[in-house]
Amino acid sequence: MKTIYKCLAMVMVVGVFSACEADPDEGLPNFDNSLPLYVQIGPVSNSNADGDIITDPEEGDEFNITVELPEVVYGDVNVTWEMAGNMVSSGSAVISEGDLNTMVVIPIPDDGVAGGGSASFTLTAVDNGLTLGRQNATSSIISTDLTWEDNQ
């Protein structure tokens, strides 16, 4: 019985490697058709001045926006972003080599305008050969809407 399992395992291994197109120069499998690595927006949370996580942000609180990678890459990854709406801003964040994410902290200004506000946060560029969002996947987020209330 063990011999049958060993034979099946060998057939599966041979099948996997034979499915890859060999590179004639190197004799190695060619993975050129794989999708490039990407960055996307991960979880967004809100915190108050004490650092406590809150559900309804107000003026004076902060948005904590996670920018993430699906797997570790070699070298730092620089990501630029911009905001439009009631808050207009732009900046960049670095996902350090060996990390899977970084946090962008956006303070909500206490501008005295009644009614709170909203803005969109959008990733605009990335380096190190990566793309913005996973190609052919609608679930990969590169823009998110942020809303907050007036603290009065």
Digit-coded pLDDT (tens) for 60-109:
889 999 999 999 988 999 999 999 998 899 999 999 999 999 999 999 88
pLDDT class of 115 with cuts at 50, 70, 90: confident
* Beta-ladder partners of 69: none
Structure tokens at 65: 């926006």
Record the pTM.
0.72
**100 CB contacts (<8 Å, ≥6 apart)?**
68, 69, 70, 71, 72
**What is the CA 8 to chain-centroid distance, rounded?**
39
Give the span between the Cα atoms of 87 and 108, in whole angstroms: 8
